[in-house]
Amino acid sequence: MTYPNQYRYTKDHEWAELISANQIRVGITDHAQSALGDIVFLELPKLERTLNEHETFGVVESIKAVSDLYSPIRGKVVKTNTDLASDPGKINQNPHQEWMLVLEASDAKAQFDALMDANQYEALTKSS
């Protein structure tokens, strides 16, 4: 699997995309989706909730397992993908296009830059 170079990644298998100087989109990686199998349920956080880095923001459930979702940065939830929450199976088709939430932080770019790049994430997935 090739991971998008414009994204950054976490050891918890979330991806982050910088969409402005102070906002990032968050989703789960293909590696996570493959490990989970067919996703049947997604729980997302309430708007305006402030998350710390690595804090649980939701839950994804598949036919195989239930897994927590973790925030890649410290920030405030300013948008959630309600379409995805009502049809979580879309994640199975293209997990790198299906975002879950948007976080806002004054230092989002610096936090984004501190995450793993595609090569580092790919190496992590090969070693696990």
Domains of the chain: 7-122 (2.40.50.100)
Kindly report the pTM of this predicted structure. Answer: 0.94
For residue 78, give every residue at least 6 positions away whose Cβ sits within 8 Å of its Cβ, in sequence order, or none. Answer: 23, 47, 48, 102, 103, 104
For residue 123, give every residue at least 6 positions away whose Cβ sits within 8 Å of its Cβ, in sequence order, or none. Answer: none
Query: Minimal CA–CA distance to 103: which of 59, 32, 29, 45?
Result: 45
Please report, in tens digits, the pLDDT of each residue of the chain (128 residues total): 689 999 999 999 999 999 999 999 999 999 999 999 999 999 999 999 999 999 999 999 999 899 999 999 999 999 999 999 899 999 999 999 999 999 999 999 999 999 999 999 999 999 87
